[in-house]
Amino acid sequence: MSQAPLLIDRVDGRSMRSGFLRSAQQFPDAPCLVIKGTTYDYAAVEACARRWAHAIVRTLGRPARRIGVFGYRSQVSYAGVLAALFSGATFVPLNPTFPRERTREMIRQAELDAIIVDAGAQEQLADVLDSADPPLLVLAPEAESLGSGAGQAILADELGAEPSLSDLPPLLPNDIAYLLFTSGSTGRPKGVPVTHVNASSFIDFAVGHYGITRDDRFSQTFDQTFDLSIFDLFVAWEKGASIYALQPLDLIAPARFITRNELTIWFSVPSIPALMRRKNTLKPDSLASLRVSLFCGEPLPAETAEAWQAAAPQSLVENLYGPTELTIACLWYRWDSASSAATCVNGLVPIGRPFPGLGAAVVDDNLETVEEGGSGELCVSGPQTTPGYWRDPSKTAERFVDLPGQQFPAERFYRTGDRVTRLPTGDYVYLGRTDHQVKVMGFRVELGEVEACLLSEPNTVQAVAVGWPVKDGSAEGIVAFVSGTDIDLDWIRQEASKRLPTYMVPRDVRVVETMPLNVNGKIDRLALTETLTT
């Protein structure tokens, strides 16, 4: 079928799909995705996404609003986000490795029009859709048939014969491009909507800063429910580069994956090189193909940065910082073997300085700017600051605030909850959290969400979750303490596994007679944590 002339951006200028469409037009035969040894070129990925988008718009009779993409590191899960954007929708990544109850909750909150599902997630479909009302449209491009309970489904045969959607519904810059769910302190995952302007601002910075070209080969280490995956996909697509998806087994042997595929761009949480160091697979000069190495999601130890630099001497090594609310990353620090060690605090690499056009401030509890060199909460402003939490104005008002004394680039700042200080060099250094959020292998965990789950056991009176053990500022897992009489620990463990992703499930739940209190009469978390070390 001949395609209509490319008519993108006739209304809005830029959107998250623009870069992919331009690359697909310029380099249709270039490798776009490499998954388990199979290469999909740009033309093939575009063709799938346009067919699926056509099926969605045809069936709904209108552009879509929000589309779930339920898959794991597959051609369907990647092309699915494009199909959502092509149909005029926000994409909502869903993860088949998450407990079904959690996915159900995300689908409930997102109010999807449709869901695109890959082969690996198909068997969960009936379970996770049982609460969808009205029933969702299901696109299953790899399914010959689906079990009952899946609602209206369009399967492989029909999708293969579907026409291509040539006239894409327009997107506006402030439309929501994607909706991600992060851990929520009230016991439910909370949605963070990100606009096309937010995402394009980040993509523009990254493409220019790292000099991305179509010859680059990107790692894809992050689950798609983790916003750092947006870098892997959309920064690569902006320039026609290729993306190499690491499967779970590849994550335990990353050096092998990098060298076999001659990757040029690596992006992961620091926990991965930390594991490589433990296993002695991060050897000097072993990662010669890399030219850009980026770490984000948790504190980066100086020893890890230096070991990676030695393994990839031709590569720049950068520590990126940024919560989902500020669109992927907003501060950066480039490691320098000769000078960086002197700027590290507590053995951790600085989180650096804001991207051009973004502003940062360090404030106290009253949102007053602290003295130069003092410590306080980091707040960030600029075009990457997202609109606020999904359908939660009170939480939005709490975290997205005006700082009248700060006017660059705008008064509206996001309070990160991260305690930092600013060095004389202008670089910010991470000191810890102002609340009870921890990172486990880079995943953000609100301990309140774990505690809310534990408290659902009827006999549990108090519950405290802590990150433990903590090494280099990042927790290896969660341990919990509960108090009450006749607590059913087996029930708690089962409930936690049903409701929480694996990294949030407590590795150990300990019953204490009474919770220790500190001088302020609050539960003494430190005292509880100290019992774990003895």
Transcribe 94-121 into DSSP letters.
Answer: E-TTS-HHHHHHHHHHHT-SEEEE-GGG
Tokens of 490: 């087996």
Point out which span in 46-54, 164-172, 245-253, 379-387 binds another protein (CB under 8 A): 245-253
> For residues 25 and 502, which CB has a smaller minimum distance to another protein in the complex?
502
Which of 430, 441, 438 has the alpha carbon at shortest distance from 352?
A: 430
Give dist(CA 237, CA 500) in Å, integer. Answer: 32
Element (H, E) at 48: helix 42-60
- Which one of residues 38, 61, 148, 249 is an interface residue with another protein (CB under 8 A)? 249
Point out which span in 54-62, 100-108, 276-284, 335-343 binds another protein (CB under 8 A): 276-284
Tokens of 284: 């000097």
What minimum distance in Å lies between the beta carbon of 272 and another protein? 8
Which of 264, 273, 262, 263 has the alpha carbon at shortest distance from 296?
A: 273
Tokens of 217: 């080969």
What minimum distance in Å lies between the beta carbon of 275 and another protein? 5
Encoded amino acid at 478, one letter: I
- Which one of residues 34, 119, 155, 252 is an interface residue with another protein (CB under 8 A)? 252
What minimum distance in Å lies between the beta carbon of 277 and another protein? 10
Transcribe 347-392 into DSSP letters.
Answer: TB---BEEPTT-EEEEE-TTSPBPPTT-EEEEEEESTT----STT-
Q: Please, are residues 269 and 296 in contact by the beta-carbon 8 Å criterion?
A: yes
Distance of CA 280 to the CA centre of its chain: 28
- Which one of residues 2, 148, 278, 342 is an interface residue with another protein (CB under 8 A)? 278
> For residues 49 and 440, which CB has a smaller minimum distance to another protein in the complex?
440
Point out which span in 82-90, 159-167, 186-194, 272-280 binds another protein (CB under 8 A): 272-280
> For residues 57 and 282, which CB has a smaller minimum distance to another protein in the complex?
282
Which of 234, 164, 168, 163 has the alpha carbon at shortest distance from 8?
A: 168
Q: Residue 111 contacts by C-beta under 8 Å, 6 or more apart in sequence?
A: 65, 66
Is position 161 an interface residue for another protein (rule: CB under 8 A)? no
What minimum distance in Å lies between the beta carbon of 107 and another protein? 23
Q: Residue 520 contacts by C-beta under 8 Å, 6 or more apart in sequence?
A: none
Point out which span in 209-217, 270-278, 408-416, 449-457 binds another protein (CB under 8 A): 270-278
What minimum distance in Å lies between the beta carbon of 249 and another protein? 5
**DSSP secondary structure letter of residue 416:** E
> For residues 253 and 370, which CB has a smaller minimum distance to another protein in the complex?
253
> For residues 68 and 501, which CB has a smaller minimum distance to another protein in the complex?
501
What minimum distance in Å lies between the beta carbon of 504 and another protein? 10
Q: What share of the chain is helix, strand, coil (3-state, %, to 5)?
A: 30, 25, 45
Is position 255 an interface residue for another protein (rule: CB under 8 A)? yes
Give the binding-site size for another protein (rule: CB under 8 A): 21
> For residues 108 and 256, which CB has a smaller minimum distance to another protein in the complex?
256
CA angle 306, 309, 315 (to 5 degrees): 155
- Which one of residues 507, 517, 518, 527 is an interface residue with another protein (CB under 8 A)? 507
> For residues 158 and 223, which CB has a smaller minimum distance to another protein in the complex?
223
For residue 179, the SS3 value is strand
C-alpha to C-alpha distances, 384 to 83, 195, 318, 325, 365, nearest whole angstrom: 24, 9, 19, 8, 24
> What is the CB neighbour count within 10 angstroms for residue 427?
20
Point out which span in 27-35, 246-254, 380-388, 519-527 binds another protein (CB under 8 A): 246-254
Q: 3-class secondary structure for 457-485?
A: CCCEEEEEEEECCEECCEECCEEEEEEEC
- Which one of residues 30, 44, 126, 251 is an interface residue with another protein (CB under 8 A)? 251
Q: Which of residues 93-152 bind another protein (CB under 8 A)?
A: none
> For residues 206 and 505, which CB has a smaller minimum distance to another protein in the complex?
505
Q: Please, are residues 122 and 77 in contact by the beta-carbon 8 Å criterion?
A: no
Is position 279 an interface residue for another protein (rule: CB under 8 A)? yes
- Which one of residues 128, 311, 505, 515 is an interface residue with another protein (CB under 8 A)? 505
> For residues 441 and 450, which CB has a smaller minimum distance to another protein in the complex?
441
For residue 160, the SS3 value is helix
Point out which span in 152-160, 250-258, 296-304, 352-360 binds another protein (CB under 8 A): 250-258
Is position 256 an interface residue for another protein (rule: CB under 8 A)? yes
Residue found by looking up tokens 């299953």 in the block: 140
What minimum distance in Å lies between the beta carbon of 510 and another protein? 14
Site pattern 460..479 for another protein (x: CB under 8 A):
----------------x---
Is position 245 an interface residue for another protein (rule: CB under 8 A)? no
Site pattern 402..441 for another protein (x: CB under 8 A):
---------------------------------------x
Q: Which of residues 483-502 bind another protein (CB under 8 A)?
A: 497, 502
Beta strand pairing call for 316-321 and 292-295: parallel
- Which one of residues 248, 393, 424, 521 is an interface residue with another protein (CB under 8 A)? 248
> For residues 246 and 464, which CB has a smaller minimum distance to another protein in the complex?
246
What is the contact surface with another protein in residues (CB under 8 A)?
Answer: 248-253, 255-256, 271-272, 275, 278-279, 281, 441, 476, 497, 502-503, 505, 507
